[in-house]
A and B are shown apart, each in its own frame.
Chain A
């Protein structure tokens, strides 16, 4: 059974790349970059500003793909699976949370930071925004693992419950960030790419 990568989005090196085309570019810190992208794409979602950097990054990538692919009008919420991955888990935010508890003289643990100290919260944010209720999985690996995501997306699509998988890699660690999010479907609505390990790898490394 063949599946297809219909669309992809890469957020890396101060650029947002949608299917090979740069749609936004700005040399600035990640937070400003993502907020300016939010404004540029007229996203209207106040909760965005509460998110940590990792969720903001995943959110922007998924917003762009959701709009571009029209997936919410093609699929019911429970037919869409969210399978994401990274290397640093939520460590970037964990460090921020640790700052709120490390000084015993000024000890104010922050609930709004603590809630983001799990990597799958980005799946939660994307789900809430888009009313996506299907399968979830978050994997952590040293490097982007095309084989793992390929196998797992295929496995989910082989069932009659999941008809599309929003998947990829979203990592934030100290000054570094890297996101590669793509949509895998059972049919190919656009000139897309066949879903296989090499294609996933090629898109990730070359965009």
Chain B
């Protein structure tokens, strides 16, 4: 069973690939830095929708509650946390 940290590293690679973040390397992404907005990776609303697809495709988790989306998608860490806690064993 992989650790939370391993999951974070895997997520960084998947995000770069799924969101076409071609100029960014996994080591450039700080796990607890914001993903969205000016300070972060500069992701936008379409990226958020793609992340929803990524999570369903790679981890079988459906994200339905749009209120919670902002919390879950805050950073790589919060995303990994959500997957870690909800993933089927």
Listed in ascending order, the chain A residues whose CB lies under 8 Å from chain B are: 35, 46, 49-50, 108-112, 115
Contact = CB atoms under 8 A, between A and B. Distances in A.
A46 B53 contact: no
B64 interface: no
Interface of A is mostly: helix
A110 B52 CA distance: 10
B46 A108 contact: no
A49 B53 contact: no
Given A111-B46, A111-B50, A112-B50, A46 B23 contact: yes
Contact of A46 (B42, B46, B49, B50): B42
Interface string B57-86: 100000000000000000000000000000
B56 A46 contact: no
Interface size of B as a range: 10 to 19
Contacts of A108: 53, 56-57
B50 A49 contact: no
A110 B53 CA distance: 7
A111 B20 contact: no
A81 B57 CA distance: 41
Interface in B20-62: 20-23, 42, 46-47, 49-50, 53, 56-57
B56 A49 contact: no
B20 A50 contact: yes
B19 A112 contact: yes
